[in-house]
């Protein structure tokens, strides 16, 4: 995998490596950031670059496509951001479908957490610790500061990495040679500066962790545990340790910093345990989870997250009624768990009780309004129940109120099409494709919207303006 090859042993150039990977599709889609001589990225430039980074990551990395899990990781990130130095740009948190124990921060407030990291974390504090560290890399503007520290070399390296990854799409050996040479050439010059970045990210991250209400020792504990499990074989070293080299001194420094913070924070939540269980249920085969549950001890099978994972696996295996029985008992024990109540409604629907499921979701939506996972599940059932207009109304209200995941836009387009609003359906699909970095498909959908019969002049003018924004890669309103 190109990302791993770039990251190995090169924490100093994590930024350049990740940038090179995510721009592999087409460097012509990079926003114009001004003259190369102006090496320091301004916050506005970094935000624009961040939008391009997100688009290219979505286009190239295998991401977890699940509204509930993505909402969880975004909410956790925002909780940490509320305790961070004032962010100068918006942040986006994504989950890569990759078993590596890793995470990385990219230009423009984009943080990618690997599914392997979530599975490796023993509690929410450990996951939050890694995310806080990555947040610190961005809030401390390490990317812009690296460019400012060594303008000529850093910019040249970035261009070389971009070119090397672009070449590797058609000629892997050539591309790898170009990229490796660029990275190796800059490593020694930037290594000391990068170690300073890592220490600063540790220090700031531990403060974020404590202020967000988590145990501040979680960062040192997680890194130490990973280091203890490290194999003498280089192939078995966790990716997180490759990209963030851990030494005894670094762990000791993290422990000392944590000791300066009040240790009153929490380590775990049921929400984390259920998110981790849901991720496992999505990535593993249902049969594997069902077999593991059958072989587990009574104590293990009594854990709420284990029973929840088992119920999700049963549903995926086509055993909706058995899943429903387990989830009813879980909801009775944990009535405030949104994840469990959502799972109950979906299993209720799949067990042939659509009206009951709709009522369950409407009650949940009334208790927790404008929550994307709830609105999405409710809209899906309303579309399935032949009520696309109601689903469209809910989704439009959500989209107008907050930033949503691309998949929610796709569902909104489906509701609009079934509700007899083809122009709006094409427009929403255009926004969906644009978010994913597919400008060609986005423009095609806008053109289809413009050809819709009966389009009024106001809508036509808006669509033409939207087309110009997409053509010029401007941020959409």
Q: Are 369 and 333 in contact (CB under 8 A)?
A: no
Cα-based angle 157, 160, 166 (whole degrees, multiple of 5): 140
Q: Are 87 and 111 in contact (CB under 8 A)?
A: no
Q: Are 240 and 117 in contact (CB under 8 A)?
A: yes
- Residue 178 burial class via C-beta count within 10 angstroms: exposed 0-12, middle 13-18, buried 19 and up: buried
What SS3 class is residue 266?
strand
Residue 144 CA neighbour count, 13 Å, CB half? 19
The number of residues in the chain equals: 477
Rg (CA), the chain: 24
Q: Are 73 and 93 in contact (CB under 8 A)?
A: yes
**129 vs 81: CA distance, rounded Å:** 12
> What would the two tokens of residue 342 be?
């959502």
Q: What is the dihedral of CA 279, 340, 291, 318, to 10 degrees?
A: -100
What SS3 class is residue 111?
strand
Q: Are 94 and 146 in contact (CB under 8 A)?
A: no
Q: Which helix (H) or strand (E) holds 152?
A: helix 151-168
Phi, psi of 284 (to 5 degrees): -95, 160
The CA-atom distances, in angstroms, between 300 and each of 26, 264, 277, 297, 303 are 49, 28, 13, 5, 6
List 124, 134, 198, 273, catalytic entry: 134
Q: Are 278 and 69 in contact (CB under 8 A)?
A: yes
List 54, 198, 202, 221, catalytic entry: 202
Provide the edge-to-edge strand list for the sheet that holds 103-106. Answer: 92-96, 110-114, 103-106
The CA-atom distances, in angstroms, between 458 and each of 236, 450, 454 are 60, 12, 12
Is residue 385 flagged as an active site residue?
A: no
Q: Are 267 and 214 in contact (CB under 8 A)?
A: yes
Closest alpha carbon to 219 in 243, 195, 248, 255 = 255
CA 156 to chain CA centroid, Å, is 29
Is residue 372 flagged as an active site residue?
A: no
Catalytic residue ranges: 134, 202
């Amino acid at each position: 995998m190109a990302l791993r090859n770039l990251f190995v042993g090169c924490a100093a150039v994590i930024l350049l490596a990740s940038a090179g990977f995510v721009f592999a599709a087409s460097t012509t889609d990079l926003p114009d950031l001004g003259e190369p001589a102006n090496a320091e990225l301004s916050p506005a430039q970094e935000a624009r670059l961040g939008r391009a980074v997100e688009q290219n990551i979505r286009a190239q990395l295998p991401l977890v496509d699940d509204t509930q899990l993505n909402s969880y990781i975004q909410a956790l990130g925002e909780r940490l951001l509320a305790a961070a130095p004032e962010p100068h740009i918006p942040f986006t948190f994504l989950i890569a479908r990759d078993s590596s124990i890793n995470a990385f921060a990219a230009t423009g407030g984009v943080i990618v957490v690997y599914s392997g990291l979530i599975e490796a974390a023993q509690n929410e504090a450990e996951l939050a610790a890694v995310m806080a560290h990555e947040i610190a890399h961005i809030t401390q503007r390490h990317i812009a500061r690296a460019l400012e520290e060594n303008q000529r070399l850093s910019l040249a390296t970035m261009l070389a990495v971009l070119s090397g990854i672009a070449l590797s799409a058609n000629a892997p050996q050539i591309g790898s040679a170009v990229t490796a040479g660029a990275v190796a050439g800059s490593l020694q010059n930037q290594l000391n500066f990068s170690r300073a970045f890592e220490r600063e990210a540790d220090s700031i991250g531990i403060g974020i962790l404590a202020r967000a209400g988590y145990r501040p020792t979680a960062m040192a504990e997680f890194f130490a545990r990973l280091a203890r499990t490290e194999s003498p074989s280089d192939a078995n070293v966790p990716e997180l340790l490759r990209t963030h080299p851990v030494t005894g001194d670094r762990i000791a420094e993290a422990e000392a910093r944590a000791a300066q913070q009040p240790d009153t924070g929490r380590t775990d939540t049921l929400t984390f345990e259920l998110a981790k269980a849901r991720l496992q249920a999505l990535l593993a085969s249902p049969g594997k989870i069902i077999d593991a549950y059958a072989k587990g001890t009574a104590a293990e099978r009594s854990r709420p997250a284990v029973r929840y994972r088992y119920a999700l696996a049963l549903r995926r295996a086509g055993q909706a009624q058995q899943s429903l029985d387990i989830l009813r008992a879980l909801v009775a024990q944990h009535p405030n768990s949104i994840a469990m109540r959502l799972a109950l409604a979906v299993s209720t629907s799949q067990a042939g009780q659509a009206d009951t499921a709709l009522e369950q979701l409407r009650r949940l939506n009334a208790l927790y309004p404008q929550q994307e996972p709830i609105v999405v599940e409710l809209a899906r059932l309303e579309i399935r129940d032949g009520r696309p207009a109601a689903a469209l109304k809910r989704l439009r209200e959500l989209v107008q109120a907050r930033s949503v995941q691309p998949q929610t836009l796709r569902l909104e387009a489906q509701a609009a099409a079934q509700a007899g609003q083809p122009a709006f359906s094409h427009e929403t699909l255009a926004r969906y494709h644009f978010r994913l970095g597919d400008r060609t498909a986005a423009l095609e959908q806008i053109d289809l919207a413009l050809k819709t019969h009966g389009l009024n002049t106001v809508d036509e003018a808006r669509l033409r303006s939207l087309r110009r924004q997409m053509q010029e890669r401007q941020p959409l309103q």
